Amino acid sequence: MTGDGDAAGEDAGDPSDGRRLVEGTILRGRDFEPVEGRVVVADGEIAAIEEERVDSDAIVLPAFVNAHTHIGDSIAKEAGGGLSLEELVAPPDGLKHRLLRQASTEETIAAMHRSLEFMAEAGTAAHIEFREGDVAGVREIRAAGENVPVDSVVLGRGSIDAMHAADGYGASGTNDADFERERAATAREGKLFGIHAGEVDSSDIDGAMDLNPDFLVHMVHPESWHLDRLADSETPVVVCPRSNLVTDVGLSPVSELLERTSVALGTDNVFLNSPSMFREMEFAAKLFDVSATEVLRMATVAGADIADLNCGLVEPGRDAKLLVLDGDSNNLTGAKDVVRAVVRRAGVDDIRTVVR
């Protein structure tokens, strides 16, 4: 696996004209239609897609957008085995919060930096982070992300000041507080507001939806009227199946959610799961009755749409944030359905390069 450099069979053409040509089987547009050809990249943007025969076994797809993370707890991976969700993450004294209070600023920043480095290596272009620690926590993740080629869309928590310092506000849930002031302040600033809802039960879903959030996270336990409200409001949902399995709260009704609104994938807490979108896609594809195309959409453009990012698709005018896989790796060679192979089979070891 390589980082952001060139790879054999990937680039072609005259580099002196400032363009970069990425060749292979291209998963194009929102339907990820496999087409043979090359992606023309100029000034960090996809300038064109040229369909023609090329001598490359690469698979070219959009880099991932991880739509829900908590990477501050990177200091304590796999801590808390056997604990309930409340014991693990409930503020203010869940295990995660106690561990964060005990860690030094330097330890927290260093651990987050390592997680971001892994995300970059694993093909993630951007993530939406619910960041604990108020204004100081926002500053810490900004420091952790320096010189790491992953865009962190940071949603502060704890105060309105944290929202001002960040890209928006990430609320824990309306069973903790009503968040009306935070929502109003975030709306005035035109920033992103997300909130957890329906993770343990349905008791906080109506309150969360009353806030008219930009997106909801988890929605494991929606009732029929919540699904109707989703359809009416078209509020996107981020699901985190591996996290929900670890914390034993159940699984989101992904097929039913997709019938009402757009759905994105997130990896949630780093101390519970690696921030690997390959693993999240495989779980989603095998747990839920949804197509591989839909799962890939959940891992890319659905999250980009929530955060208003110009990535997540391979089409002209989009930012050239691309993931190039080795279609001739021992793992992927012989694949008859390229999209299905990417979603259900591919992994970090299959990455040839990441174009940013």
Q: What are the backbone dihedrals phi and psi of residue 175, each rounded to the nearest 5 degrees, phi first? A: -80, -15
- Token code pair at residue 46: 């996809």
Q: Which amino acid is at 44?
A: G
Residue pLDDT, tens place only, 63-102? 999 999 999 999 888 887 787 888 887 777 788 778 878 8
Contact call for residues 151 and 309 (beta carbons, < 8 A): yes
Between 351 and 80, whose confidence is greater?
351
Task: Show Cβ contacts of residue 207 under 8 Å, excluding neighbours closer than 6 positions.
Answer: 174, 175, 178
The C-alpha atoms of residue 59 and residue 228 are separated, in whole angstroms, by: 39
Burial of 55 (0-12, 13-18, 19+ CB in 10 A): exposed
pTM score, two decimals?
A: 0.93
Q: What is the mean pLDDT of the chain?
A: 94
The C-alpha atoms of residue 282 and residue 64 are separated, in whole angstroms, by: 14
Q: pLDDT tier at 2 (50, 70, 90 boundaries)?
A: very low
Residue pLDDT, tens place only, 241-272? 999 999 999 999 999 999 999 999 999 999 89
Give the pLDDT score at 10: 55
The C-alpha atoms of residue 323 and residue 64 are separated, in whole angstroms, by: 8
Residue pLDDT, tens place only, 115-167? 999 999 999 999 999 999 999 999 999 999 999 999 999 999 999 999 999 99
The C-alpha atoms of residue 281 and residue 279 are separated, in whole angstroms, by: 5
Give the pLDDT score at 15: 54
